[in-house]
Each structure stands twice: as structure tokens, then as C-alpha cells.
Amino acid sequence: MTGRTMLRVAGRWALVMLFVSLGFGWTAGAAKEQKITIVLNEFNFNPANVTLRASVPAEIKLVNKGKVEHEFQVYVTPKGKVSDWDEHAMANTYFRDMGEVETEFEGTGAVAGTRVFEVKVQPGKEAALKFTPTRKGTFEMACHVAGHYEAGMKGVLVVK
């Protein structure tokens, strides 16, 4: 090996080392992420009360341990009677104006969007919602598959 080649090899190693240290940097950043798992079942969320910190990247993992499909919606708690829940959820979703929200479905892949208002999880499956909560307050989380909300499938999301 000539001196010149050795220098080139050393240069390449320096580049590899740079990537490695950058990788460690990312890992350290990811550790600050808040991760919460919510189990969906007939007919509840466990836990039903979830608190997140604003401006910190969050991952909410939804695990459907039930026998039927469940939904996960978070929206501004309605003040009166709601005649159309999907309409209310769409217009008042917590994920509105929150930038990109990524939903990862177990074994199926991920979708990202800015108009997410519900996540449907099939029985026995998991999905993960990734977003950075920017809006503080108390919001309602619910499953509006026919009859589920009325049976008690709701909860509270607090963002501080």
C-alpha cells in the first residue's frame, strides 16, 4: 500500500466515523420522544387518561386486543349534543394544523398526512401515531364505531 492510498483509506474512515457519531446524536435525540401505548378493547381505552408534553415528539401506539375493529379519534370536547360525530371529529380533530402526522400500521406500512382525524385498527393489530403535539389543552379521545362511544369507549388527552 502506498502512502497515498493509506491517506485515502484514512479519509474514508474519518467519513465513516462522522456518520457513526451523527447516528449517536440522532439516537440521543430520539430518547427524548414520549411513547405511550393505549390498548383498545370492547369497549374502552386503557389507559383512558393520557397526558403528553407539548412540543416534544410523541408516539402513541394503539393495540387492538378486541374482537372487532376500533377507531382512535382525538378532538375538541363538544359542548352540546353532537348529531354527526365524524363531522365533529373532522372539523375539530386535535391533529389539525399540527403539520405532518405519520401513521404506521403493523406489517402494512406507513402513511403521512396533514388531515388525519381517525385511525382505524383491526382486531389483533397495532398502529402507531407519530406527531409533535403543539396545541395545549384537554381533548376527548373516542371510538365512534357504531355504539362503542355510547358503551364507554372514550377517554381524555391532556397536553401540557
- Report helix, strand or coil for 88: helix
Residue 131 contacts residue 101 (beta carbons within 8 Å)? yes
The interface mask with Cu ion, positions 130-149, x = CB under 5 A, is -------------x-x--x-
Least distance in angstroms from the C-beta of 62 to Cu ion: 11
Least distance in angstroms from the C-beta of 145 to Cu ion: 4
Of 79 and 125, CB closest to Cu ion = 125
Q: Does residue 153 belong to the site contacting Cu ion (CB under 5 A)?
A: yes
Of 39 and 145, CB closest to Cu ion = 145
Size of the site for Cu ion (CB under 5 A): 5
**Residue 110 has which C-alpha cell?**
406507513
Alpha-carbon span 70 to 24, nearest angstrom? 37
Least distance in angstroms from the C-beta of 78 to Cu ion: 18
Instruction: Please identify which residue in 70, 125, 130, 154 interacts with Cu ion, judged by CB under 5 A.
Output: 70
Q: What are residue 62's DSSP bridge partners?
A: 38, 127
Alpha-carbon span 91 to 111, nearest angstrom? 21
Q: Does residue 125 belong to the site contacting Cu ion (CB under 5 A)?
A: no
Residues in 81-120 at the binding interface with Cu ion, rule: CB under 5 A: none
Q: Does residue 52 belong to the site contacting Cu ion (CB under 5 A)?
A: no
Q: Does residue 62 belong to the site contacting Cu ion (CB under 5 A)?
A: no
Least distance in angstroms from the C-beta of 71 to Cu ion: 6
Q: Is the dihedral of CA 7, 13, 15, 21 positive or negative?
A: negative
Distances (CA, A) of 48 to 41, 82, 99, 147, 152: 11, 21, 25, 18, 10
**Residue 23 has which C-alpha cell?**
447516528
Q: Does residue 121 belong to the site contacting Cu ion (CB under 5 A)?
A: no
Alpha-carbon span 107 to 104, nearest angstrom? 9
* Sites of contact with Cu ion (CB under 5 A): 70, 143, 145, 148, 153
